[in-house]
Amino acid sequence: MPETVREAAATTRAAGTATFRQPGLVLTDHHFDVPLDHADPGGATIRLYAREVVATRREHDDLPWLVYLQGGPGFAAGRPVGREHWLDRALEDYRVLLLDQRGTGRSTPADRQTLPLRGAPAEQADYLAHFRADSIVRDCELIRPRLTGGRPWTVLGQSFGGFCAVTYLSYAPEGLAQVIITGGLPSLDADPDAVYRAAYPRMERKNLAHYARYPGDEAAARRIAAHLAGREEVLPDGTLLTVEAFQQLGILLGTGDGSHRLHYLLEDAFVDTVAGPRLSDAFAEAVAAVLSRAHCPLYAILHEAIYAQDGRATHWSAERVRAEFPQFDRHFEPGARFLFTGETVHPWMLRTHPALRPLRHTAELLAERKGWTPLYDPDRLARNTVPVAAAIYHDDLYVDTEHSLRTARAIGGLRTWVTDEYEHDGVRASGRVVLDRLLTLVRDDG
């Protein structure tokens, strides 16, 4: 290992890190203090956490670094248990950094318990305005030289992590050796309304495909909806299960096994009791696990802000655009379909979800916030020279395929793999396959 890299590693480990071992893995904790606002480097700071992962047999090798940017926004990086999924392939060539993006996981958390430390809702909204992709990229650029000694690293961006990778290419390409994107090529210019106008028809297609696979599920879903329309149901975590909240189980339809999971969930919905049929405890607990925002409140509060970059407020875009697709609200009309929704955020969630209720005013302020700045630089992306490869999943529930293809054509040198073999979670569900294919593309090995 070159001396500069050894020195950087020694500096990082001296800050109270810990190293652990699993079969085949060595895992090291890293903590970094970074500015809350990178435009004010002398101001308030927050702490970031990242986990270094390296194959046991390569622990002391001078390996290039790969930083993994998780989907979201608002999700911590995965917690590995052995060499599973894409990580098994990555560890053949890289020392991997699993970053808990600001506000998530073991990084300084941002949730209903901690945000009051920042002040009233207005101060909380100002604080959270620094939690978008541009800040995450600047975090990475502060971390990178401390770990690599200044060498560029490879970024693997899944979903929202891919959005961050495109921001990285826009504003700090000098820090990048290669970029790999899975299900995360964003539109460079679509506002939130355009994103959701493209999303609702995809949601409908996913519903129809699910009902073609499991024809009895539509009747089962309508029965549950009718039950919820006539009585209040509260899930074990305190979530109020309304018809609209129940519809959000459609988020499962964007993953490889999600249609099957939804089917099994629906078939166990009711149980006979002395008071007649009631929703089963098992169903309620399973639904709570899907709908809970306790571990990812930023996923709801900042979701529409990840698309905002023209200075205008998002103003609850998904809710407004839903009115243009009335088929999602015609559950009980003769001949109408029952349609689940997907990755959308609505103001009523601030009432139904216990993790969001205390943040209602903060979320409302963010929805009305103006002045969101650009996250991408189309001119610089057109001149890009960093090797980039991207998997685009055909008819992806979460990211519009046509938007992704248009962006792929706008980034210089980007190579794509368009596939319908996998859904949005292909990099995980495929084991080594997706990452191996993209490494071949980005290295121009085939």
pLDDT in tens, 415-444: 999 999 999 999 999 999 999 999 999 998
159: annotated active-site residue = yes
pLDDT of 15 above 70: no
Average pLDDT of the segment spanning 358-363: 98
pLDDT in tens, 200-247: 999 999 999 999 999 999 999 999 999 999 998 999 999 999 999 999
CB atoms within 10 A of CB 153: 20
From 406, 416, 442, select the one nearest 176 (Cα to Cα).
Answer: 442
pLDDT confidence bin for 274, thresholds 50/70/90: very high
- Please tell me the distance from the alpha carbon of residue 99 to that of residue 328, in angstroms, as a whole number: 37
pLDDT in tens, 390-408: 999 999 999 999 999 999 9
Q: Give residues with Cβ within 8 angstroms of 153, minimum separation 6.
A: 64, 65, 66, 67, 97, 144, 147, 175, 176, 177
Give the per-residue pLDDT at 209: 97
Give the per-residue pLDDT at 421: 96
Q: Assign 32 to helix, strand or coil.
A: strand
pLDDT of 318 above 90: yes
What is the rounded average pLDDT for all residues in the chain? 94
Q: Which two tokens stand for residue 407?
A: 């962006």
pLDDT in tens, 283-311: 999 999 999 999 999 999 999 999 999 99
Q: What percent of the chain has pLDDT over 90?
A: 92
From 345, 368, 241, 247, select the one nearest 296 (Cα to Cα).
Answer: 345
pLDDT of 136 above 90: yes
**Catalytic site residue from 30, 107, 134, 159:** 159
Give the per-residue pLDDT at 14: 38
pLDDT of 446 above 80: no
Give the per-residue pLDDT at 232: 87
Give the per-residue pLDDT at 413: 96
pLDDT in tens, 104-129: 999 999 999 999 999 999 999 999 99
331: annotated active-site residue = no
Give the per-residue pLDDT at 13: 40
**Element (H or E) spanning 50, and its range?**
strand 45-55
**Catalytic site residue from 139, 346, 424, 430:** 424
First to last CA, the chain: 30
From 153, 126, 23, 93, select the one nearest 366 (Cα to Cα).
Answer: 126
pLDDT in tens, 56-112: 999 999 999 999 999 999 999 999 998 989 999 999 999 999 999 999 999 999 999
- Please tell me the distance from the alpha carbon of residue 245 to that of residue 347, in angstroms, as a whole number: 11
Give the per-residue pLDDT at 445: 74
Stated length of the chain: 446
Domains of the chain with bracketed CATH: 3-188+376-442 (3.40.50.1820), 192-367 (no CATH)
pTM of the prediction?
A: 0.94
396: annotated active-site residue = yes
Q: Which two tokens stand for residue 140?
A: 């990475």
CB atoms within 10 A of CB 171: 19
C-alpha separations of 361 from 115, 170, 307, 443 in Å: 12, 33, 21, 48
- Please tell me the distance from the alpha carbon of residue 191 to that of residue 128, in angstroms, as a whole number: 20
pLDDT of 251 above 60: yes
- Please tell me the distance from the alpha carbon of residue 74 to that of residue 295, in angstroms, as a whole number: 8
CB 218 within 8 A of CB 224: no
pLDDT of 333 above 60: yes
**Catalytic site residue from 100, 134, 396, 400:** 396
pLDDT of 10 above 60: no
pLDDT of 8 above 60: no
